[in-house]
Structure 1
C-alpha cells in the first residue's frame, strides 16, 4: 500500500444501487415532473446533463426550470425517498469486500487517511454511512449540500482539493489515490493532480484498452480489494 490518502466515490464504488446511470436518470425524470417542467427531455439530452459541469444551469433553463437550487433540493428529496424504499426492499447494499478493505486501510500501521468525495447530498450520505456501519472509517467526507454548491460536484476537483488540504497533503511527500467508477471521478482526480483508479462496475465487460483510452485512469481494477496491492 504505497498511498497515504485514499479518497473514495460513494455511489457505484462503495454503495451498490444497481446501474447508477439508470437510477440517476429515473430520479432526474421524477424531479422534472415534480417541478412541472414543460417537457421531459429525451434520453440523449438527459445523459448530457450529467457531464455538463457548470453548464447545468443553462440546460435547466432550457428545460423550463429557472431556479437551479430548487431543482437540486427537489432532486435530493426524491433521491432520498427512493433510496429509503430500496433500502427497505434490500435492493441497496455495499459492494462485496467494502468493509474488509476499509478495515484494512483504517487499521494499517502507517495510518492511512480515508475520505469520501461524492456528488450525493450530505444528509443522504450521512444516513447510509450510518445504516451500513462504515461512517467511522472516514476522517473526512465531502458531499453536496448547504456547504458545497453543485458547481463543486465532480468532475470539479474542489472536493478532492478540500480533502487534501484537510489532510495537509504535500505532493513532494505524500501520495493520494482517488477510487471511483465513473469518468467524473477520474477527471476530478486528474484535475487535482493525484492518481486515479477506475473500478469496473457498470462498465464491466468493456475492452480494457477502450476504457484506458476514454477514461485515462492510472489503474483499472475489477474488485475493490485490489487497491490494497497498489
Structure 2
C-alpha cells in the first residue's frame, strides 16, 4: 500500500507527553522563591507553547520588565531540569503509535519550543531510538512558528517536506506547519481544545481526538 508520508514530526508537550504537572510545579517553585503567587494547572496551560522565556513573561507581573525576570527564569530552568520527569508521562496510545511508526519504517522527529536540553533528555528517557531527531529552543534557531527547526529536522531525517507531516496540539503548531510548507495534523487531547483549534485556523478534517484517529491518517 502506498502511504502518504515518510516522516512524522511531532511537537512534544501536549502532543506526545503530558508535561503540565511538572511545568506547573516548576513555575510555582520559581514564583514562590521570589515572593510571587502560585498558579493552577489551567493557568499554566494557558501560558505554555512559546518557550520558557514566554512562559515566565506571562507568569510575572509586568512580564519582561519585572526586575526578577532573569532570576525567576534561571531558577525555573534549574528546577525543571531536575524535576521534568516527576509526573510527566506519555499520553495514552503514544508509545504504541511510535512503535508502529518505527516498525513500518517511518522517520520520526520531535520539534518543540521547550529548551533543547529538556527536549533531548525527555526523548532519550521516554522514547529512545523510536525518535531519530529531537530539536528544542536554542540560540541561533528561531522558535516555532518559524519553520527553522522543522527544516533542520527534515534535513537530519533526509526527507522532503512534501513527504512529511507535522503533528501538534496548538495554534503555534498549526502556523508552524503552514510556514514550513507542510501538511499539519492537530490533536485535541493536549493543551488546547478542539474548539480552540477550530477558532484559530484548524480545519475539522485535520483535528484528531485520539491516537487511533491519528494513526488512520498516517497509514
Q: Give the TM-score range, shorter chain.
A: 0.7 to 0.9
**Which of 137, 158, 164 in structure 1 is aligned with 2:130?**
137
**In the TM superposition, what is the alpha-carbon distance from 1:169 to its structure 2 partner?**
3.8
In 1: Cα distance, 2:211 partner to 2:122 partner: 19
For the residue of structure 1 that corresponds to 2:146, the secondary structure is coil
Q: 2:30 is matched with which residue?
A: 31
Query: Is the CA contact (8 Å cut-off) linking 1:40 and 1:63 kept in structure 2?
Result: no
**In the TM superposition, what is the alpha-carbon distance from 1:183 to its structure 2 partner?**
1.8
Change (3 A) 1:224 1:66: same
For the residue of structure 2 that corresponds to 1:216, the secondary structure is coil
Change (3 A) 1:66 1:100: closer
**Which of 1, 4, 10 in structure 2 is aligned with 1:2?**
4
Q: 2:79 is matched with which residue?
A: 78
If the length of structure 2 is used for normalisation, what is the TM-score? 0.74
If the length of structure 1 is used for normalisation, what is the TM-score? 0.71
Q: 1:168 is matched with which residue?
A: 158
Change (3 A) 1:201 1:117: same
For the residue of structure 2 that corresponds to 1:163, the secondary structure is helix
After superposition, the CA RMSD in angstroms is 3.7
Change (3 A) 1:71 1:168: farther
For the residue of structure 1 that corresponds to 2:158, the secondary structure is coil
**Residues 16-70 of structure 1: per-residue CA shift (max 9 Å, x gap):** 23xx3x7645534533454x48x66999x988865778x9598743122464xx6
Query: Is the CA contact (8 Å cut-off) linking 1:155 and 1:184 kept in structure 2?
Result: yes
Q: 1:94 is matched with which residue?
A: 90
For the residue of structure 1 that corresponds to 2:215, the secondary structure is helix
Q: 1:14 is matched with which residue?
A: 16
For the residue of structure 2 that corresponds to 1:152, the secondary structure is coil
**In the TM superposition, what is the alpha-carbon distance from 1:181 to its structure 2 partner?**
1.4
In 2: Cα distance, 1:206 partner to 1:49 partner: 18
* Stretches of structure 1 lacking an aligned partner (at least 5 in a row): 87-91
